[in-house]
Amino acid sequence: MDFIGKKYKMTSSENFDEFLKAIGVGLITRKAANAVTPTVEIRQDGDSYSLVTSSTFKTTEVKFKPGEEVDEERADGVKVKSVYNFEGNTLKQVQKCPDGLEINFVREFGPEEMKAVMTVKDVTCTRVYKAQ
């Protein structure tokens, strides 16, 4: 997993606003989220990992062990439960929201870029990040 410790900065984003609407994020928070270009990094500490997303708007960090459910707080403040699993160079995340929504995240790491595909209901968002 040669992507551990590597930083990826967002270069493109498709359908992000529609995705945020579908998960119930309000207009002002959506506008702020659409205005930033976050950097993503996965760090490892023994058998635990941290997914760090940082931007000028907010930095979030979630610590997890693959296959174990963790409590986390989304950037918009909603408390959710997630399970993360690695499959080769892919990090899959299933996030369960208090309102029953289930969101799927698939982050595919390559030597030059990371592609994140987020799906909720019938809305899919794709964001591409370039390795730093």
Q: Count CB atoms within 10 A of the CB of residue 69.
A: 13
Q: What are the pLDDT digits (tens) for 116-131?
A: 999 999 999 999 999 9
Kindly tell me the sign of the dihedral angle through the C-alpha atoms of 50, 130, 104, 121: positive
Q: What is the pLDDT of residue 76?
A: 85
**Residue 80 forms part of a structural domain:** yes
Q: In what order do the strands lie in the sheet with 102-109?
A: 59-64, 48-54, 39-45, 7-14, 123-131, 113-120, 102-109, 90-96, 79-87, 69-73
Residue 14 — very low, low, confident or very high, per pLDDT cuts 50/70/90? very high
Q: How far apart are CA 65 and CA 62, in angstroms?
A: 10
**Residue 11 forms part of a structural domain:** yes
Number of structural domains, the chain? 1
pTM: 0.94
- CATH for 18: 2.40.128.20
**Residue 2 forms part of a structural domain:** no
**Residue 64 forms part of a structural domain:** yes
Can you give the residue range of the structural domain that contains 112?
7-131
Q: What are the pLDDT digits (tens) for 52-72?
A: 999 987 888 999 999 999 999
* Tokens 């390559």 belong to residue: 110
**Residue 97 forms part of a structural domain:** yes
**Residue 1 forms part of a structural domain:** no
Kindly tell me the sign of the dihedral angle through the C-alpha atoms of 17, 94, 114, 131: positive
Write down how long the chain is: 132
**Residue 96 forms part of a structural domain:** yes
Q: For the chain, give the longest Cα–Cα distance.
A: 40
38-68 burial, b at 16+ Cβ within 10 Å, e below that, comes to: bbbbbeeeeeebebbebbeeeeeebebeeee
